[in-house]
Structure formats: C-alpha cells, structure tokens
Amino acid sequence: MYLVKVYVTYKESVLDPQGEAVKGAVHRLGYQDVTSIRIGKYFEIKVTASNGKTETDVQQEVEAICDKLLANVNMETYRYEISLLEEAAV
C-alpha cells in the first residue's frame, strides 16, 4: 500500500486573502518579522498496490485526482510525496 501526501496551495500570482488575514492577526500578536503566510490544503491518500500497481501507476492516478478534483489548476498548484507503507503499519 502506498501513502500519498498531497499539498495544494495558491499559485504565487494569486492573492491569498485567508493568508493575508492570518498574517494580519500574527502581526497583531506582535510577530512583526513574519512577512508572508500562504494557506493551503493537505490530503493523505492511501492507495492499494493491487494487481502489480507500481509507483508510476500511483503517480499517474494521483495526478489525475489532483487535476480533476483536489486542485483548481487555474489558481492552485500541487505537489505530492509517495511512500510505500509497511503492511504491518496499515
């Protein structure tokens, strides 16, 4: 079984109003050295390695899921990490 960690954030060219609001709150708490905060989404996806599925197959599936559902590719970018889980840890 594979564990995929997906991180979705706004593209650098897109204004992040939530991040700006949090940055303002952080400044009000006295942390003036904070210059930028970006808000994003985090997903953990477990994929069964059935039928001889390789990491490349998982990669293709994850990219399709991200492009079609998890990220708005016009405004957001994503990255992911794939790791093989030990069967005992599942």
Q: Which residues pair with 10 in a beta bridge?
A: 76
pLDDT at 89: 54
- 89 HSE (CA, 13 A, CB side): 8
pLDDT at 86: 76
pLDDT (tens digit per residue) in 32-66: 999 999 999 999 999 998 888 899 999 999 999 99
N residues, the chain: 90
What mean pLDDT comes out for the span 61-85? Answer: 96
Nearest to 1 by CA among 85, 88, 89: 85
61, amino acid identity: E
